[in-house]
Structure 1
Amino acid sequence: MKPRLADRIATISFWACALLVIAILVSLAGYILYHGGKSISWNFLTSPPQVIRAGGGIGPQIFNSFYLLVLSMAFTLPVGLLGGVYLAEYARKSSWTDLVRLSIETLNSLPSIIVGLFGLLVFVNLTGWGYSLMSGALALTVINLPLIVRIMEESVRSVPAGLREASLALGANKWQTVCRVVLPSAFPGLVSGAITTSGRVFGEAAALMFTAGMSSPALDFSQWNILHPASPLNPFRPAETLAVHIWKINTEGLIPDLRRVADGSAAVLILVVLGFNLAARWLGRKIHRRMTAE
């Protein structure tokens, strides 16, 4: 086979595979949005579910999902960033680093249901917190931490060595080089890692059923005391996220309009994840240009 013909066949094959993936994604998202978009309204997005009569919404579930995202990323991002920087910049090749990487790979391959059972034992029972947002956030941290450490490590390693050498040649020490040269250059990859882990927070359900719970108390959004049981900001209250809500109403079927709520919830979940990814990428590019003076 001639090299030019082989190159053309390979190019067509790559394009066909890419278009196939895009077509599957668009058809799946389009199907969900078509059936669920009819149910989306302001009342649907702000009101709580109705168990007795139809017309309820998913307001508390949306708030719980975003609040759980904030709590989880507050633990995941600092630890993941420091772990990735350590493995990429400071750790030397040794049996210790091999053990750390083996542990990361093992944790990354654990099923979420196993992490949920671990969270039920440790974060729910041993701590005495019960089903709570804090238990769910720590369980999600266990799930996301191996992934974000690897992404952070690879992003830091991808920075050209010449930038480090130039910074050190100008008199900067190791820590100054990492903070002022390496991290700004690796910022797009760091943002991508944060986006990936955030998407897993929105879509996770199995681990949260055993840690955050499958019900939410009646929330009083005028109550700002975080220790009050009805306060939406209380991290030690049970909370049903949007993904758990979709699973629950489809399996239990207690509400009269479950098909409408399930389709609308799925559409909202896709729109939230898509909007969050687009906004985060735009913000990441903007901050990267400012930090690197492009």
Structure 2
Amino acid sequence: MNPKTTDRIATFVLYTIAFLIVSVLFGLLAYILYHGFQRIDLQFITSPPETMKAGGGIGPQLFNSLYLLVLTLIITIPLGLGGGIYLAEYAPKNKVTDAIRLSIEVLSSLPSIVVGLFGLMVFVNVMGWGFSILSGACALTVFNLPLLVRVVEESLRSVPREQKEASLAMGISHWTTIRKVLLPVALPGIITGTILASGRIFGEAAALLFTAGMSSPDLNFSDWSFTTPVSPLNPFRPAETLAVHIWKVNSEGLIPDARAVADGASAILVLTVLFFNLFARWFGRWIYKRLTAS
């Protein structure tokens, strides 16, 4: 077989595989949205489950998912940036840093149920936070931190060496070079890693069953105190997220339209992840243009 024929066959196989993957993804997305749109309306999105007949809405669960996302990112991003910057710019090449990288690889492959049991033991019981949003956010931080650390490290290492050397040659300090030269150039990769971590937060259920709980109090959306038990912003209250709600509705089967509620909640979850990804990428490009000459 001559090289030209081999190249054509390989190209055809690769295009076929790509087409199959895209077809499966679009088919799954179309199936979820088609069945979910039959249930979605304004009342379903904004109302709590107990205020509607036959299953109710998902208002508190949607808010809990977004609040948990924000709280988790507030904890994860500074730690991930610090760890990635240390490994890329300050960590010496020795057995200790090799052990740290190996530990990060092991942690990134842990099953979510194991992270949930760890969170139950440490954050719920030892720390005494109980089933709460804060316990869930800390468990998800353990779950996502290895991913973000590796993404930040690889993004910083991918910056052309000449840019760093040029900055240092001008007498600029190492830390200022990291802030003003390396981080802005590495920002697109860091944004991509943050989006991946956010997607895992939206879709996680197993770890939250043991940390954030499977129920929510009757929230009072006119009370925005951080200490009131029924306040939406109270981080020490239990919180049922959309992913947990979908699992709960399907597993318990206590309502007559469980399938319709699950379909609607699944469609809302997919659309929320989609809109968040689009917004994060737009925001990342805007920040990148502001911090660089692009």
TM-score of the superposition, structure 1-length normalised?
Answer: 0.97
The alpha carbon displacement at 1:257 in A equals 2.0
Q: Secondary structure at the match of 1:39?
A: coil
Range with greater deviation from structure 2 (127-136 or 10-19): 10-19
CA distance in 2 between counterparts of 1:57 and 1:172 reads 56
**Deviation digits for residues 28-78 of structure 1 (CA, Å, limit 9, x no counterpart):** 010010001111110000000138832611000000000000111111110
Find the counterpart in structure 2 of residue 244 from structure 1.
244
Q: How does 1:61-140 map to 2 (within 5 A)?
A: 61-140=61-140
Matched, 1:212 2:212: yes
CA distance in 1 between counterparts of 2:197 and 2:169 reads 36
Quote the sequence identity (%).
63
Q: How does 1:119-198 map to 2 (within 5 A)?
A: 119-198=119-198
The one-letter code of the counterpart of 2:210 is: F
Matched, 1:292 2:292: yes
Find the counterpart in structure 2 of residue 25 from structure 1.
25
The answer to whether the 8 Å contact 2:227/2:234 transfers is: yes
Q: CA RMSD in A?
A: 1.2
Find the counterpart in structure 1 of residue 261 from structure 2.
261
CA distance in 2 between counterparts of 1:55 and 1:117 reads 30
CA distance in 2 between counterparts of 1:6 and 1:20 reads 21
TM-score of the superposition, structure 2-length normalised?
Answer: 0.97
Q: Secondary structure at the match of 1:153?
A: helix
The answer to whether the 8 Å contact 1:112/1:206 transfers is: yes
CA distance in 2 between counterparts of 1:11 and 1:164 reads 39
The answer to whether the 8 Å contact 2:72/2:138 transfers is: yes
Runs of 4+ in 1 over 6 A off after TM superposition: none
The answer to whether the 8 Å contact 1:52/1:256 transfers is: no
**Deviation digits for residues 199-241 of structure 1 (CA, Å, limit 9, x no counterpart):** 0000000000000000000000111221110000000000000
**Deviation digits for residues 165-189 of structure 1 (CA, Å, limit 9, x no counterpart):** 1111111111111110000000000
Structure 2: 5+ residue stretches without partners = none
Q: Secondary structure at the match of 1:114?
A: helix
The one-letter code of the counterpart of 2:151 is: I
The answer to whether the 8 Å contact 1:53/1:256 transfers is: no
The answer to whether the 8 Å contact 1:133/1:238 transfers is: yes
The answer to whether the 8 Å contact 2:55/2:258 transfers is: no
CA distance in 1 between counterparts of 2:47 and 2:53 reads 13
Range with greater deviation from structure 2 (105-114 or 58-67): 105-114
The one-letter code of the counterpart of 1:7 is: D
CA distance in 2 between counterparts of 1:285 and 1:139 reads 30
**Deviation digits for residues 83-124 of structure 1 (CA, Å, limit 9, x no counterpart):** 011111111210110110111011111110011011111100
**Deviation digits for residues 127-149 of structure 1 (CA, Å, limit 9, x no counterpart):** 11110000000000000001111
The one-letter code of the counterpart of 2:40 is: I
Q: Secondary structure at the match of 1:50?
A: helix
CA distance in 2 between counterparts of 1:11 and 1:283 reads 36
